[in-house]
Structure 1
């Protein structure tokens, strides 16, 4: 037997095909690249879902009738048209009537919201005056209603 060669690895016809071209042994290592890809995808999925799972704490909360979550929020609609006329829930009002009705609404529920709709041409001073009337009546929640721009 020559130095460094086995009987199977010689260039003769026995086993030359199983050894591959050039007489080298076939590689028996596992290709880990797809395994690493799958593990990285799973790691990203776990990183994203872990905060969602951590916030699901099961509690046995006490029961009370103090605040019902299904109650509709109360609001009054305050409108100022282009001429400066004031309407409360679609009824025309002067400043004294408005103050009385807003005081009544505040007495019924202090969390009543005033939804203020004002025409673009209404002076800023008139809007501030109405906000002051609502604030003096005890209603501090004022929302400005707008329209989205035309496309």
Structure 2
């Protein structure tokens, strides 16, 4: 609240109903700067060496159903070659129409993502929602890679 002097009031002070927001803005800007500086400091990563989790591997089904997508985009269910149009039929035969059967997809790493998703969408549309992706372990992949020759 402030006071305003009028020339015609004989020196009486009148009340001013306007709020001066300049100090409020100054305080808010100071708080904003404090939080901008303090927020990154509160999320500092603390180096922690976590223990290795030793969990039992889940049981692998006796007869897993594999869908394979090769480099030339050929499809197969198990050892049987198939097409996108027959994929749901061949998967149904391989799983005996049990929709809760886990299906494993193996795809060459050069297969485009769109083709991979096309197979996933066919499975989902037919009701097969338990899908696992097959890949190599990092250690196995490193062992399969040849050692680089030493520079001479």
Give TM-score, length-normalised by structure 1: 0.48
Give TM-score, length-normalised by structure 2: 0.48
